[in-house]
Amino acid sequence: MEVIVADNAGFCFGVKRAIKMANDTMDAVGNQVKSLGQLIHNPQVVNSFQKRGLEVVSDLCGVEPEDTVIIRSHGVGPKVKNEAVERGLKVVDTTCPFVTKAQQYAARLIADGYKVVMIGDKNHPEVIGVVAHTQNQAIILDTVEEAEKLKFIPRMGVVFQTTHAIGHVQEVVGALLKRGEEVRVFNTLCGATTSMQKTAIELSSEVEAMVIVGGRNSANTAQLAEVCRRVNPRVLQIESAEEIHEDWFDGLHRVGVSAGASTPDEVIAEVVDRITRIEPRAASA
């Protein structure tokens, strides 16, 4: 099988930075390190850190005074950071600079008297952290339908989940423009995700099918699969090479591969190797 890998597939700058900071911390401190939530949305990476002694905790209650606590690339709200400082904890903050920017824009908008609307998944940790920078006053929505249902807002400030697809936020912003008099939009999309989606979309139109690799709980992997599906309906989303079944490739000769921002190179290489070894065969009737 011919396999073409999209440019920019896999680890983004923010994830590489978070992993490096976590590795350096583990090397320096040993096993008294805790991460607030999973470091990145990839089970293989999380498992390897856990084997080295990194413990995942859901909040600061599980952190002892002598521990070092890692804030992951999705970031947290100001209350969590303040509590860590008040308790004198050692904090390693790996919040991605793109996420920090979104947090700062949201805080600035609320301070300037705007009602903040965040376009994103209300359950995603990044969105929860950004909204916490508005004293949890922001409205979170993710669809044109939800935007159309909003009451009229005289001064509206808009930010986006960093990993959203540009086409999607354009549609939702279009609907929001009808619900406000002054609508101030900050482009908080992450450049890494935007170029990853662009190259994957281009590749989707040149191949018979796309395979998207990444954690099932990774928002940017799900978005990547979604934008590819709009161009080429034959998209398979998997976490690892073990999930590949040859039958899915029946009738195919040329397949594209891309991967979410938290997918390690080794996982992508295993998937590519596995698909390359599949002998093209006719589609079953």
The identity of residue 158, as a single letter, is V
Burial-class residue 186 by CB neighbours within 10 Å (0-12, 13-18, 19+).
middle
Contact pattern for ligand SF4 over residues 226 through 265, marking x by CB under 6 A: -----------------------------------x----
For residue 19, state whether it binds ligand SF4 (rule: CB under 6 A). Answer: no
Among 1, 5, 15, 139, binds ligand SF4 (CB under 6 A): 15
CB of 65 to ligand SF4, least distance (A): 29
Compute CA distances 105 → 102, 167, 227, 267, whole Å. 5, 21, 26, 35
Do residues 169 and 223 make contact, with C-beta atoms less than 8 angstroms apart? no
Is residue 171 annotated as part of the catalytic site, yes or no?
no
CB of 220 to ligand SF4, least distance (A): 5
- In the complex with ligand SF4, the residue whose CB is nearer, 163 or 263, is 163
| Interatomic CA distance for residues 73 and 264, integer angstroms | 16
Residues near 37 by beta carbon (within 8 Å), at least 6 away in sequence: 56, 58, 72, 74, 125
For residue 186, state whether it binds ligand SF4 (rule: CB under 6 A). Answer: no
- In the complex with ligand SF4, the residue whose CB is nearer, 96 or 118, is 96
For residue 190, state whether it binds ligand SF4 (rule: CB under 6 A). Answer: yes
CB of 34 to ligand SF4, least distance (A): 20
Among 21, 45, 63, 99, binds ligand SF4 (CB under 6 A): 99
For residue 68, state whether it binds ligand SF4 (rule: CB under 6 A). Answer: no
Do residues 212 and 258 make contact, with C-beta atoms less than 8 angstroms apart? yes
Among 10, 14, 77, 264, binds ligand SF4 (CB under 6 A): 14
| Interatomic CA distance for residues 59 and 62, integer angstroms | 6
Structure tokens that stand for 122 in this block: 């209300």
For residue 105, state whether it binds ligand SF4 (rule: CB under 6 A). Answer: no
User: What is the SS3 assignment for 125?
Assistant: helix
Among 25, 94, 134, 163, binds ligand SF4 (CB under 6 A): 163
| Interatomic CA distance for residues 225 and 88, integer angstroms | 42
- Residues annotated as catalytic are 126
Interacting residues with ligand SF4 (CB under 6 A): 12-15, 73, 96, 98-99, 162-163, 190, 192-193, 220, 261
